[in-house]
Amino acid sequence: MQVTGLRRRFLITFITFSVLLFGILPSANADEEEISSSEVAEIISKYLRAKSHDDELRGASMEVEISAQVPKLKESGTLRALRKISRVGQVTYRQIAFQGANFVKKEIIARYLNAEQQEQGDQDIGITPANYKFKYKGQVPSQANTPAYVFQLTPRKKKVGLFKGEMWIDSKTYLPVFEKGRLVKNPSVFFKQVDFRRGFSIQNGLAVPSYLASTIDTRLVGKIEISINFSKFTRSRDSETDEEVNSAAVHQSMLK
């Protein structure tokens, strides 16, 4: 009986940790209720309309804390930076502070951000019916205390930026609150396999990044773990010059 009690306490602790870490329960708990194909189509249509406001994120900035672990080398590092989306949609980072191994900064975090910039080169990677097959899986509770619709996503092509996994759509705003999966094409020759979990908070009708956790198998140093926390989201209505956009070659400043 004592062993059973210990196992029960361990299970409760594990579930609690998962909720604190990811802010949501695993998708295995989805209620796979039957709904009609027309209802599914209506959910996707409302999602696409809600996501059409993504352009309003341009000109926004957030603070990010990027932590990377390299278990094989017992190395780690944490970068604090300002993340900005320009008026033309380019994502850039300006370093605030870094603590940890310089190797992690240059070879892990910088490579990761370079891979993100590679995805920016092709804007046609959104979660749309043109890029993905949607399969309705049911409903789960979300952080917003409203049900979320769970969709299994299968990419229609093998392309950098696309992934195989799932997405949760808030049933009130029809904005995404969670995504997880595995990239179908690696954005860097340095990476062998990329798995991720990504959460969003809904602010003023926009899905704002909240956190991202990635586990990446690399060719040189084995498995690495990267977590990103986003905070202090702000939007600027000021105009932005080409000079300001071009000056954002963040990776140059980060690699010094």
Which burial class, exposed, middle or buried, applies to 218 when counting CB atoms under 10 A from its CB (0-12, 13-18, 19+)?
buried
Q: Is residue 24 situated within a structural domain?
A: no
- SS3 for 89-147, per residue? CCEEEEEEEEEECHHHHHHHHHHHHHHHHHHHCCCCCCCCCCCEEEEEEEEEECCCCCE
pTM for the whole structure: 0.78
> SS3 of 243, please?
helix
Dump pLDDT digits (tens) for 184-202: 998 888 889 999 999 999 9
Can you give the residue range of the structural domain that contains 206? Answer: 40-254
Q: Is residue 121 situated within a structural domain?
A: yes
- With tokens 């992690």, the residue in question is 104
Q: Is residue 180 situated within a structural domain?
A: yes
Average pLDDT over residues 87-107: 91
What band does 85 get if pLDDT is binned at 50, 70 and 90?
Answer: confident
Reply yes or no on whether the pLDDT at 51 is more than 50.
yes
CATH number of the domain residue 157 falls in? 2.50.20
Number of independent structural domains in the chain: 1
Average pLDDT over residues 117-135: 81
Average pLDDT over residues 154-182: 95
What pLDDT is attached to residue 169? 97
- Residue 253's Cβ-side half-sphere holds a number of Cα atoms within 13 Å equal to 14
CB of 249 within 8 A of CB of 95?
A: no
What band does 118 get if pLDDT is binned at 50, 70 and 90?
Answer: low
Q: The dihedral of CA 9, 32, 128, 163: what is its sign? A: positive
Residue 25: name the closest of 143, 135, 134 by CA: 143
Pull the structure tokens for residue 16: 């609690």
DSSP letters of 164-229? EEEEEEETTT--EEEEEEEESS-SSTTEEEEEEEEEEEEETTEEEEEEEEEEEEESSS-EEEEEEE
What pLDDT is attached to residue 112? 86
Q: Is residue 5 situated within a structural domain?
A: no
Q: Is residue 231 situated within a structural domain?
A: yes
Q: How many residues does the chain have?
A: 256
Average pLDDT over residues 159-186: 95
Reply yes or no on whether the pLDDT at 148 is more than 50.
yes
Q: Is residue 22 situated within a structural domain?
A: no
Q: Is residue 216 situated within a structural domain?
A: yes
State the Cα–Cα distance between residues 51 and 45, nearest whole angstrom: 10
Q: Is residue 144 situated within a structural domain?
A: yes
Residue 59: name the closest of 39, 35, 89, 36 by CA: 89
